């Protein structure tokens, strides 16, 4: 379900101004303000831009960072890109289907998760569904 061919005007028409700022302009929500930071229901987190399933609730953990944190994505759903903005070297994560900015992934921070990764995701980039995903 590739939606990379949407124009900026089309994205502006379907996303809220805050969703557009984060998903399309690589913005960041303020820490501790996101809807899913302390959220703990069972289900699937989809891309707020295109609806693609990105994360299962079983991979979400409380990192205390102020944003929703996951230790792994649904296979193939999230792409990684080097981000050298703000004088830092980080790994940006985007929705593979539409290219929407999700946040960043950090490795080796010492969390007791199976991957030792923290996918630090903006709540605005996500839409939760309390349905099960197969597999």
Query: Would you name the residues annotated as active-site residues?
Result: 120
State residue 39 phi and psi, 5-degree precision: -80, 135
**Look-up: residue for tokens 């630090």?**
120
Output the pLDDT for position 2.
46
Dihedral (CA of 127, 132, 133, 135) sign: positive
pLDDT tens readout for residues 100-116: 999 999 999 999 999 99
Give the start-to-end residue ranges of the domains of the chain: 8-129
Query: How crowded is the C-beta side of 77, counted as CA atoms within 13 Å?
Result: 18
What global pTM score does this model have? 0.91
Q: Determine whether domain 8-129 maps to CATH 2.170.150.20.
A: yes
Tokens found for residue 27: 């913005």
CA distances from 64 to 19, 44, 86, 114 (A): 23, 21, 23, 18
34: which DSSP letter? S
Sheet holding 117-121, edge to edge: 60-61, 69-70, 117-121, 101-107, 90-95, 78-83
CA distances from 119 to 2, 91, 104, 115 (A): 22, 10, 6, 10
Q: How confident is the model at residue 86 (pLDDT cuts 50, 70, 90)?
A: confident
């Amino acid at each position: 379900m590739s939606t990379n061919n949407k124009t900026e005007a089309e994205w502006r028409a379907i996303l809220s101004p805050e969703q557009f700022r984060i998903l399309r302009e690589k913005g960041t929500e303020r820490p501790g303000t996101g809807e899913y930071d302390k959220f703990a229901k069972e289900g699937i987190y989809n891309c707020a831009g295109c609806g693609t399933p990105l994360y299962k609730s079983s991979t979400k953990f409380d990192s205390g960072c102020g944003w929703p944190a996951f230790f792994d994505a649904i296979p193939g759903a999230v792409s990684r890109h080097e981000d050298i903005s703000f004088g830092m070297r980080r790994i940006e994560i985007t929705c593979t289907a539409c290219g929407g900015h999700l946040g960043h992934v950090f490795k080796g921070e010492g969390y007791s998760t199976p991957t030792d990764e923290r996918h630090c995701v903006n709540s605005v980039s996500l839409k939760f569904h309390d349905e099960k995903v197969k597999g």
